[in-house]
Amino acid sequence: MSDTLNQKVKDLLPAMIRCRRDLHKYAESGWTEFRTASLVAARLKELGYSLTTGAAAVKKESMMGAPAPNVLKAHQERAVSQGADPALVAGMEGGLTGLWADLPCGGPGPRFALRFDMDANDAVETDAPGHVPNKGGFASINKGVMHACAHDGHVAIGLAVAELLAELKDSLKGSIRLIFQPAEEGVRGAAPMVDAGCVREVDFILGVHMGVKADKKGLLICGARKFLATSKWDVRIQGKSSHAGSDPHMGRNALLAACAAALNLHAISRHGEGPTRITVGKLEAGQGRNVIPPNAFMALETRGATTELNDYMTSEAARIIKAAAEMWGCTYAVSTVGGTKSGESSEAMVDEICSLARAMPAFSDVRGIEDFTGSEDFAHMMTEVQRQGGLGTYIQVGTILKAGHHNDHFDFDEDDLAPAAELLVRVVRHYLGGKK
Amino acid sequence: MSDTLNQKVKDLLPAMIRCRRDLHKYAESGWTEFRTASLVAARLKELGYSLTTGAAAVKKESMMGAPAPNVLKAHQERAVSQGADPALVAGMEGGLTGLWADLPCGGPGPRFALRFDMDANDAVETDAPGHVPNKGGFASINKGVMHACAHDGHVAIGLAVAELLAELKDSLKGSIRLIFQPAEEGVRGAAPMVDAGCVREVDFILGVHMGVKADKKGLLICGARKFLATSKWDVRIQGKSSHAGSDPHMGRNALLAACAAALNLHAISRHGEGPTRITVGKLEAGQGRNVIPPNAFMALETRGATTELNDYMTSEAARIIKAAAEMWGCTYAVSTVGGTKSGESSEAMVDEICSLARAMPAFSDVRGIEDFTGSEDFAHMMTEVQRQGGLGTYIQVGTILKAGHHNDHFDFDEDDLAPAAELLVRVVRHYLGGKK
Amino acid sequence: MSDTLNQKVKDLLPAMIRCRRDLHKYAESGWTEFRTASLVAARLKELGYSLTTGAAAVKKESMMGAPAPNVLKAHQERAVSQGADPALVAGMEGGLTGLWADLPCGGPGPRFALRFDMDANDAVETDAPGHVPNKGGFASINKGVMHACAHDGHVAIGLAVAELLAELKDSLKGSIRLIFQPAEEGVRGAAPMVDAGCVREVDFILGVHMGVKADKKGLLICGARKFLATSKWDVRIQGKSSHAGSDPHMGRNALLAACAAALNLHAISRHGEGPTRITVGKLEAGQGRNVIPPNAFMALETRGATTELNDYMTSEAARIIKAAAEMWGCTYAVSTVGGTKSGESSEAMVDEICSLARAMPAFSDVRGIEDFTGSEDFAHMMTEVQRQGGLGTYIQVGTILKAGHHNDHFDFDEDDLAPAAELLVRVVRHYLGGKK
Amino acid sequence: MSDTLNQKVKDLLPAMIRCRRDLHKYAESGWTEFRTASLVAARLKELGYSLTTGAAAVKKESMMGAPAPNVLKAHQERAVSQGADPALVAGMEGGLTGLWADLPCGGPGPRFALRFDMDANDAVETDAPGHVPNKGGFASINKGVMHACAHDGHVAIGLAVAELLAELKDSLKGSIRLIFQPAEEGVRGAAPMVDAGCVREVDFILGVHMGVKADKKGLLICGARKFLATSKWDVRIQGKSSHAGSDPHMGRNALLAACAAALNLHAISRHGEGPTRITVGKLEAGQGRNVIPPNAFMALETRGATTELNDYMTSEAARIIKAAAEMWGCTYAVSTVGGTKSGESSEAMVDEICSLARAMPAFSDVRGIEDFTGSEDFAHMMTEVQRQGGLGTYIQVGTILKAGHHNDHFDFDEDDLAPAAELLVRVVRHYLGGKK
């Protein structure tokens, strides 16, 4: 069967590439993946999966950093104009673009989940003529949105895997769940899907990413630790304006409140037990030169090497923001626009995957758990599965990158989609008791 | 002659009102008064005055808060399209819209200068149907720019006075200078005209303003003291960006530099000798939530009840801004975008004007020097004349206002233009030795 | 009688000088005036006044800035060892050194109060041989405490006036109250005496001060306005210590709370309606270099040209201090250790006193109300009398000063005690219906 | 010989204990170890070592955190009164209490250095009756100074080792250097001894410490890494006083400069490459409540997991302190009162010592390199030896502690001095070619 599988994947590669290029051309940012999610949903239904979508798949109250309703509305129209099924798009109104697809196998057994992220980045794709999407005519036509983190590839892998597993299902025991997640950028999409139940009763979960810092074909990293827990906050402070010359004492200076907050936030004590971060990345305050500023806005983020360390940072930050606003007689509001927990791959699962991968000629350098030191909200799903008693890991597939992730020249080697898809199928087959 | 003069002014009132309404309709903000200045220049030439315009009238290097070249260019085109003489507008390229007009009289004697300001405010004129400019069809068609400080009236007075003095000139000794100043709002226009020589060898100077806080017809305040000296600064701080998660130590945090500056600027010690002010009215910093902010901008102003008090504030502020930038390893630039000295009317001149005004039935409540407690860059010109040994004052003409200065419902009683013009002519005649 | 009075005062001068020198030698600072107050009490009793002392004269709960109990105890012993009556001193336990003395006159009429302050300054008297107290052998033997504000003279005047009024009482209508106040330095003593009732049902009140900035014999200023309202606060912030190397996150940093408070306090907006001040004069925080500081102390003061302006400052300050403590997870306590209201002499009373003074040859330059621009807690008593419908004023007697008030070389001309005493008697006699 | 050595050490134990108790009783803090150093010097001379002392052993210019001259003088007198040799004490005037002793062996070979620290802690020893030094009558009689870090034991080991090596010297090749260092507490003593040449041409260096966090007899940790580099600074800021009421603008506010410094110092960005620390542990500023504060003092420390990380902190801190002083028009001075580099034991040497220790029955749990995560200025000496091409390590001997290091109940098991001394002799013998 191995050889059969390898051949089947090879046969699917052209379709995977077509899919990836189509998604690349119609790149969609977080919570606006109406076209992408519609295509995914339609295909999975075709393959026999039963779908969970819309409000059942994304808990509306838990959504973070969603665009304004009118912006979402405009994106729905855009998606339809770019070929999406109007009925499917209508079912995702309000940015409910996440979905999962279930497939029961040939008998009782564990539930194995695979997660694929769908959103593109806020970036203007380069117009350099040598950039492959330009040469191939599939550069993003949605100005300012670009797949610069390979999520287009992830979805293409996901749909190929869906097809291959559908063929195999009768030989397996248990069930398969494919999770297509929106808004991974800004770590906003995992939590509302978890809250909606996407990993409930899941025994194993696997996430995959194309491209590693060590830019190398044949490299596979089978597990990750030190995902940074992080929180993304928008802070708004409301004061009162007054004339700076005649009545300065009548104002409530929101600008000074924000400045006091920013300075003191950065002075939050380092933590004795591990790395933390805090950054007020943006601050905008005031209306006119001669008006006591009645308004201020701050975009900030905290991070921690563990969930506990990030919790320390957010708890300190919340106290400081409150006090800074009150110090200047202002009111304030904090909205969480993103965030994820820390996490660490399950060692047992990493070891199994390493063995499976080493048997594949495509992977010449197979490694175990390595430090991630970035944030990925897959950690949120994985941690929840582990909390329930299950196992999970996150694998990174080496490929030659034209430029780093999030760069406007980013591109990866499409041939590497095939071994990634093959490995995922092998792993599922292994865990659901299929032949070795 | 007095009765003659009174009658002449009455005869001129309809023309003054027409002029004022025309300017109101085509309101132009600071440094873009191309149409206004062109009309003024053309009319004064017609009346026999010799003009000083363009770079000879406005020292380019001293201009504060001028719009960008392309914005100015667009305004030149707008002005021409609204009827301005293309040749005159071309001579004001770069926003050099200030000008003065000289008229020698019938023999040797002192030089008497009158100053009129021409610019409108950044405000969207109300569309309330009862607002007189709406009823009369002369509301501003230049969206976002509105004559809400009566400078349209001042120019109308100026042109009427020009006509009356031209008739009188042979009976007078000395010479007359009419100064038409741009960009009084933001106190930006006086200094570059003074630097160009507009008050050189001026013995007497008079400024006039329509409308007083005490909202009363027949009121005339013949002098002012406690003009607030003020400085308007734009501060730009340049740091270095870096990734807030992986390399926070590689950045140079301009946002924190700005916050440290803002807090410490507001903490500048009160001055034992009189009122001061400082306000950072706007602060904008940063690029993205997870990027160490490499840029910051602050719009601030200082004030002082005397020039010395404002100098104290700017000297403290300059030191603090420099230190705050250096504290965070940043560079910075401060640009002065406005400012004026304090000033106080010359008592002797105020007394004379009071006497002249009391002889006019139009003024039922004539007062001497009162506190101004605002900023006006006429103070800059007046102080310079006094420094040279001359005298100066600033008079305020009471009128019924529909709403306060700078309000979008602002309007004044056009009938009050007449006594203002008449008084100015009487004063000049008095000082240049004409009959009483 | 006038000539008689003048002669009587002259006869009393040697006794006044002896009294002043005795008090100067045994100088006592605020709330430790046990010896001074005992001498005063004994003498007033002797003269027939009925006394209110101890807890009846000073409301314990309202005392501000009192020394610790053991310090007060030691001062009681010191006072006795320096000749004070042990029983009287015992009655002032706890620093209750204020007292008032009442004398009913020959019939019904208004109550007239005179206030004298008793405390010395914290200063080490100069050992310069030319300093009169050194030449005369009456320099302070209480090291670090010195009468450098003439309160020794005020008490001497008070006792002479007491003697003279006791002789006159039958010829007057109404009643006399002599208030001897402790702790004027630091503006701490007036409020607890007012709270105990020292000005209850008082119709007229007069305070007196030896020495004016304009250093001139014969000068008398009969009224004052623009007493600065002021508040003196001790702020203590309590955090939690932890090791700065291993557990910095376990601390609650009181030092940073104090720094945030200090910076933001100084940034309280200037007030559009008049001068204000704020100064954190002392800050002490922390225990060791490598310990997160669990403690901080700040000594601060606010001022305002009116009571309202000072209230604005304290209300802003209270909010900022609370927020700064909470910002860093600390608790805090503010104790008021001094303070007084603003005030302004009653014009009618000033005019009367001017007339009375102009009739005395000793005063060659008699002036009405002038700006005080300092703080004096007599303002607290005077304002309370005015609130009840009474009148009050504060007079300053010119004399030649050897050095400014509070300077360690301070000294005044003792001969000027006589006209001051004489004037006070004349004023009381005038208001209580005695012969002119 | 091994058995012989073991027996010899056993025979020496009573003398070691006597020595330790004598030093414990006369505990001396950093730079005042006049008595301790005199005893050491006398004994080493007796044993045939050649000494380097005084200014030759401690570079005066490099001394950090030394007490004032008069304090040192008083300690010299105290030491003599407590039995020190007056001549030896005189040679250490100015706190030059460090010394080293050289012993050439029986032929050419490497130089092996051993370092022992001598100073006690600033702590008041408990008077609990169960505390062994109280029971044994050897608690510190120098109030406020206590051996709470086992340096008394280190010196006792050092003198025993000196005696044993003196006996062995002819059988060894190379030379021995025994370094007795003052002022390890506050990490002040190593740098000036290194600058004086104490490790010049040293091939191997070994430091030893009694007591490990894991409180266990028989435990030996043969190497350490992650010594925290640290810097200890005293910062003084000088401004200008003025009266807070009348002339606040005339002051230069050093208190605000210190507050701005403290807040911004704590806001120094975390470093992406490892842990750092900064703490302003003390701040004292100001003179009086109503005086603009002309003075401020801060005691601060920085730390870093590597020398580079600490260098980052000091370089940021220096810039911020300079800017904060300048921001408020003040001058400032920074003095380094302590500090050390990071460091890491040489693996090869650790391995050898582990082997030697495992052969000793006294050590039941022998471990290699472990994290230290504190600061020790032995790291400074070790790093310098390694820089020259040599090897070094730091060993920690497990013992049962009655309380943690620096606690006022601290005490260790004196029996554990013997195996420590024996191990040191074995290590030197091994490296200098003696029999195994």
* Residue type, position C226, single letter: K
Q: Quick one: average pLDDT of D399-405?
A: 86
pLDDT of residue A396: 96
Q: What is the DSSP secondary-structure string of B110-142? A: -EEEEEEE--BEE------TTSHHHHTT-S-SS
Higher pLDDT, residue B245 or D115? D115
The C-alpha atoms of residue D151 and residue D121 are separated, in whole angstroms, by 9
pLDDT of residue D217: 85
pLDDT of residue D433: 87
Contacts of C124 (CB under 8 A, 6+ apart): C143, C144, C146, C408
When CB atoms are compared, the residue of A258, A290, A373 closest to B279 is: A290
CA quadruple C49, C55, C60, C61: dihedral positive or negative? Answer: negative
**Taking CB atoms and an 8 Å limit, are C256 and A264 in contact across chains?**
yes
Residue B137 pLDDT more than 80?
A: yes
**Taking CB atoms and an 8 Å limit, are D275 and A276 in contact across chains?**
no
> pLDDT tens, C186-239?
999 999 999 999 999 999 999 999 988 667 889 999 999 989 999 999 999 999
**Structure ipTM:** 0.85
Fold of D231-340: Alpha-Beta Plaits (3.30.70)
When CB atoms are compared, the residue of A267, A276, A277 closest to D267 is: A267
SS3 category, A8: helix
Residue B288 pLDDT more than 80?
A: yes
Least confident of A367-376, B375-384, D97-106, D231-240: A367-376
pLDDT of residue D1: 47
When CB atoms are compared, the residue of C245, C246, C326 closest to A323 is: C326
CA distance to partner chain A, nearest, from residue B234 (Å): 9
Instruction: State how far the alpha carbon of C383 is from the alpha carbons of A57, A186, C204, C376, in Å.
Output: 72, 63, 11, 12
**Phi, psi (rounded to 5 degrees) for A346:** -75, 125
Residue D62 pLDDT more than 90?
A: yes
pLDDT of residue D288: 87
pLDDT of residue A436: 47
Opening angle at CA A258, ends A253 and A261, nearest 5? 130
The C-alpha atoms of residue B93 and residue B99 are separated, in whole angstroms, by 13
The C-alpha atoms of residue B324 and residue B316 are separated, in whole angstroms, by 12
pLDDT of residue C424: 98
Q: Are D251 and D267 within 8 A, CB to CB? A: no
CA distance to partner chain C, nearest, from residue B306 (Å): 15
Q: What is the DSSP secondary-structure string of A388-423? A: TT-EEEEEEE----SS-TTSTT----GGGHHHHHHH
SS3 category, C223: strand
Q: Which residue is associated with the tokens 């032949």?
A: A435
**Taking CB atoms and an 8 Å limit, are A280 and B286 in contact across chains?**
yes
Q: pLDDT category, A403, cuts 50, 70, 90?
A: confident
Instruction: State how far the alpha carbon of A75 is from the alpha carbons of A63, A84, A121, A133, B24, in Å.
Output: 17, 11, 15, 23, 44
> pLDDT tens, D124-168?
999 999 999 999 999 999 999 999 999 999 999 999 999 999 999
Q: pLDDT category, B406, cuts 50, 70, 90?
A: confident
Residue B26 pLDDT more than 70?
A: yes
Q: What residues of chain A lie within 8 A of the CB of B281, using their CB?
A: 244, 255, 286-293
For chain D, the residues whose C-beta falls within 8 A of a C-beta of chain A are 263-264, 266-267, 269-270, 275-277
Region of D263 please: left (phi>0), alpha (psi -120 to 50) or beta.
Answer: alpha
Residue A423 pLDDT more than 70?
A: yes
CA distance to partner chain C, nearest, from residue D287 (Å): 6
Residue A20 pLDDT more than 80?
A: yes
pLDDT of residue C2: 54
pLDDT of residue B214: 63
Mean pLDDT of the residues in chain A: 95
The C-alpha atoms of residue B256 and residue B267 are separated, in whole angstroms, by 17
Best D237, D243, D249 residue to mutate vs chain B (most B CBs within 10 Å):
D249
Residue B102: count other Cβ atoms within 10 Å of its Cβ.
15
Compute, in degrees rounded to 10, the torsion defined by CA atoms A170, A176, A179, A180.
-10
pLDDT of residue A435: 57
> pLDDT tens, C118-128?
999 998 999 99
DSSP symbol at B29: B
**Taking CB atoms and an 8 Å limit, are A249 and C260 in contact across chains?**
no
Mean pLDDT of the residues in chain B: 95
Best C240, C268, C269 residue to mutate vs chain A (most A CBs within 10 Å):
C269
Mean pLDDT of the residues in chain D: 95
Q: What residues of chain C lie within 8 A of the CB of D283, using their CB?
A: 255, 258-259, 283-286, 293
The C-alpha atoms of residue C29 and residue A362 are separated, in whole angstroms, by 91
Residue A1 pLDDT more than 50?
A: no
When CB atoms are compared, the residue of C263, C264, C277 closest to B270 is: C277
Q: What residues of chain C lie within 8 A of the CB of B269, using their CB?
A: 266
**Taking CB atoms and an 8 Å limit, are C270 and B270 in contact across chains?**
yes
pLDDT of residue D406: 83
Nearest CA in chain D to C267: D256
SS3 category, B79: helix
Q: What residues of chain A lie within 8 A of the CB of C249, using their CB?
A: 269-273, 312
For chain D, the residues whose C-beta falls within 8 A of a C-beta of chain C are 228, 230, 232, 244-246, 248, 253, 255-256, 258-260, 262-263, 266, 277, 279-293, 299-301, 303, 373-375
> Under CATH, which architecture does the B229-340 domain have?
2-Layer Sandwich (3.30)
Structure tokens at D103: 């012993």
Nearest CA in chain A to D273: A275
CA distance to partner chain C, nearest, from residue A186 (Å): 27
For chain C, the residues whose C-beta falls within 8 A of a C-beta of chain D are 228, 230, 232, 244-246, 248, 253, 255-256, 258-260, 262-263, 266, 277, 279-293, 299-301, 303, 373-375
Q: What percent of chain A has pLDDT over 90?
A: 90
CA distance to partner chain A, nearest, from residue B431 (Å): 36
pLDDT of residue B264: 98
Beta strands in C183-291 (DSSP E): 204-210, 219-227, 229-238, 276-286
Select from B372, B367, B368, B365 the least CA-distant residue to B347: B368
CA distance to partner chain A, nearest, from residue B169 (Å): 42
Nearest CA in chain B to A227: B245
Q: What percent of chain B has pLDDT over 70?
A: 98
> pLDDT tens, C4-63?
899 999 999 999 999 999 999 999 999 999 999 999 999 999 999 999 999 999 999 999
Q: What percent of chain C has pLDDT over 70?
A: 98
* Homologous superfamily in CATH for domain A2-228+343-431: Zn peptidases (3.40.630.10)
Annotated domain spans of chain B: 2-225+341-431, 229-340
Fold of B2-225+341-431: Aminopeptidase (3.40.630)
Structure tokens at D11: 């025979």
DSSP symbol at D28: -
**Taking CB atoms and an 8 Å limit, are C246 and A272 in contact across chains?**
yes
Q: pLDDT category, A212, cuts 50, 70, 90?
A: confident
pLDDT of residue D435: 57
pLDDT of residue B435: 57
**Taking CB atoms and an 8 Å limit, are C275 and B275 in contact across chains?**
yes
**Taking CB atoms and an 8 Å limit, are D326 and B319 in contact across chains?**
yes
Chains in contact with chain A (at least 3 beta-carbon pairs closer than 8 A)? B, C, D
CA distance to partner chain B, nearest, from residue A88 (Å): 33
When CB atoms are compared, the residue of C267, C275, C277 closest to B267 is: C267
Q: pLDDT category, D293, cuts 50, 70, 90?
A: very high
CA distance to partner chain C, nearest, from residue B310 (Å): 14
Q: What percent of chain C has pLDDT over 90?
A: 90
CA distance to partner chain C, nearest, from residue D202 (Å): 31
Q: pLDDT category, B1, cuts 50, 70, 90?
A: very low
Higher pLDDT, residue A1 or B431? B431
Q: What residues of chain D lie within 8 A of the CB of B246, using their CB?
A: 272
> pLDDT tens, C107-162?
999 999 999 999 999 989 999 999 999 999 999 999 999 999 999 999 999 999 99
* CB-based burial label for C13 (10 Å; 0-12, 13-18, 19+): middle
CATH number of C2-201+407-431: 3.40.630.10
SS3 category, B381: helix
